[in-house]
Structure 1
Amino acid sequence: MREQLPRLYWTARTLVGDDAEDAVQDCMVKAFERFDQLNDLAAGAAWLRSILVNCCRDRLRAKARQPGEVEFEEAERFSLYRKIAYEDPFPYSDSLHLDFLQEFGREDVHAVLRRLPELYRIPLVLVYMDGFLAKETAAILQVPLGTVLARLHRGRKLFEKQMWDYAQENGLLKEASR
């Protein structure tokens, strides 16, 4: 368990923000209580991660019983690539899209992720940040693979839209205001 703590904390921090320590603690308590259910010690890391994801989901559910409404049609039509090219926030840039992405620090990315509904945030974190395959993510979340793939697609589109909105709200488009 000790070896997994940093990674568990990082995952929890990404999923639930300031409640990460409590989520990891809940995970450890549940793992201790159910240790007899772990059949293969080599699978311990994935087993702990699965428990942690469920603890994070429980915390998120407790915070907000009703998820915020998401306008999918608008998100589906949104293209970060086209928006950056059209708005041209860095007019003297030869690498416009890279310049836009370089404005985001680690905390900015985490802030954008926390804006996403849990339904999309969890698969994005597990696949793109923790390195799980979509098939493994489906097993952890106990949903069909197609559901995970759909959530990843919608999650990426929502993430792009939230990146643009966050950049505007937080002054990351410095060149555009000059």
Structure 2
Amino acid sequence: MPAANLPATTAGSNLPGEDQQYLTFTLGAEVFAIVIDHIKEIIEYSAVTQVPLMPSFVHGVINLRGSVLPVIDLSIRFGRAATPVGRRTCVVVLNLEFAGETHAVGMLVDAVNAVIEIPASQIEPAPSFGTPLRAEFIAGMGKVNNQFVILLDVAHVLSLEEMSSLVTGAPAAAAAAAED
């Protein structure tokens, strides 16, 4: 699968009540989606270099056009088993803000499905119980073809601040865990 560059979106397109475009992907048997605003590209899975002493959800790093790109195994981040690498496994590259700078981070997923538009009227609030994911990871539940798609809040799922504190063992990690 070649790298796919996604369409740019306007900075103000993330307003509540507006229709949004989402990238849908699978992890195991579940379908998830993220707003495409943060997505830089989608690349085919390739060899990953393991980095010693990293949390288990850091799958490793890859060379992306001369830059080191950390790859997060989203399945492990959700407290599940590692993502098995198959022929549709890919890395979704996102641009995330941390400490006033933009950082590229890869997100390992089983398969990318499609970019779809979900009308705001078809999005329900995140459930307060009944999901194995941390509540702050879920932005809402989108109704697509009479089924729910879990809409992820990338700012929380891939919080560079939280993940950095887990690597360094900083007190922020303990504080975040206490809030769960």
Q: TM-score higher than 0.5 here?
A: no
Structure whose residues are more often helix by fraction: 1
* TM-score, normalising length: structure 2: 0.25
Structure whose residues are more often strand by fraction: 2
Q: Which structure has the larger Rg over C-alpha atoms? A: 1
* TM-score, normalising length: structure 1: 0.25
Higher normalized contact order (CA 8 Å, seq sep 6+, divided by chain length): 1
